[in-house]
Amino acid sequence: MKIIDDRRALHRIPELDRNLPQTLDYLRQSLEELNCRVFSPMEGALCAYFDFGCPQTIAFRSDADALPIQERTGLDFASAHPGRMHACGHDGHMAIALELARRLSTKKSLPHNVLIVFQPAEETTGGARDLCQTGVFADCRVQAIFGLHLWPGLPEGVIASRKEELMARSCEVKVDVFGRSAHIARAEEGLDALYAGVQFYSRAMEMEAAMPSQVFRLLKFGKFESGRVCNALSAHTHMEGSLRAFQDEVFFGMRRELLSIAQAVEAETGCTVQVDMNDGYPAVMNPADLYDRVRRAADFLELSKPAMTTEDFSWYQRSLPGMFFFLGLGDTPALHADNFNFNESILTKGADFFEVLAEKFQ
């Protein structure tokens, strides 16, 4: 089956960030055989435009980059690039998009033109934002964009989504507490960075737990390091964690509260508390009106709650109407695992779903 051949060929040649020469060569050669215009709006990206003579266009997006992971699947078509692997399913996303392109190439008419976008740097710097800034969507008169992600744990072959909150906004949180070491027998001469770090951590967790239960959010720390020996006060504590939410007012409100906690701990302990938080990607929010229009065109499972993971598809949704979906893989290894693999037959379900949208979305 061609869609499986595509997935395996692309799986063998994983590339990182925006440096995707072999991947783009494969995509370009496949697309240039079809009845479409193939062009590159920016470094690492490739587009295929199917012109059906309509005033408006809809778009479908696939990410194309891989991860810096050494593959350990043992597959016959395992990565030929040491230290790189398609461990997040982007090879499958590209195979679905290529299959959609082949099907579109055989059609005589559709209610709109179609733009297929292959995007770099989803795993790193957010290539979606840069693509939006090229003007390609305005040039092609794109009215809506759709994307999907292979999803472990969801029943195999099931397409699923939900209205509004689907994937979280996130940022990394790094905290450094600077005190002054002293022998514990003369503790009054020091400033205990371990104690101050524990105070910051405890208050941050209390702040998150006190929020209303209906507000989707998450604040957790996975790394806490402090001190060097058992009989001296710690001079430095370092913490790393992640903050995730959906509404911007919740997200930025929690960020402000973390800075307020840091100031309070400084005042009480005499230590210096520095909090660094990056911007991250916005939340993936499926607009209610677009969701309803898609519901009338295609069938999919309604999810009861959102995922707390992130996706740069959200940048498209900041520029034009967009809706994102999950394609279930069943019981598979987790995304980003070095043994990630899946039943390739489910890829046709993704192509079928996108084809229905291409034909029936109004």
Q: What confidence tens digit (pLDDT) does each residue in 217-236 have? A: 999 999 999 999 999 999 99
* Chain segment 174-225, per-residue pLDDT in tens: 999 999 999 999 999 999 999 999 999 999 999 999 999 889 999 999 999 9
How many Å from the N-terminal Cα to the C-terminal Cα in the chain? 31
Phi, psi of 153 (to 5 degrees): 95, -25
Q: Average pLDDT, whole number, for the chain?
A: 97
Tell me the CATH architecture of domain 2-166+284-360: 3-Layer(aba) Sandwich (3.40)
Q: What is the structure's pLDDT at 22?
A: 98
Any idea where the domains of the chain sit in the sequence?
2-166+284-360, 169-277
Assess whether pLDDT exceeds 90 at residue 243: yes
Distances (CA, A) of 163 to 170, 311, 328: 19, 16, 18
Q: What is the structure's pLDDT at 274?
A: 98
Tell me the CATH architecture of domain 169-277: 2-Layer Sandwich (3.30)
* Chain segment 88-97, per-residue pLDDT in tens: 999 999 999 9
Assess whether pLDDT exceeds 90 at residue 279: no
* Chain segment 111-146, per-residue pLDDT in tens: 999 999 999 999 999 999 999 999 999 999 999 999
CA distance linking residue 305 with residue 164, whole number of Å: 10
CA distance linking residue 347 with residue 42, whole number of Å: 27
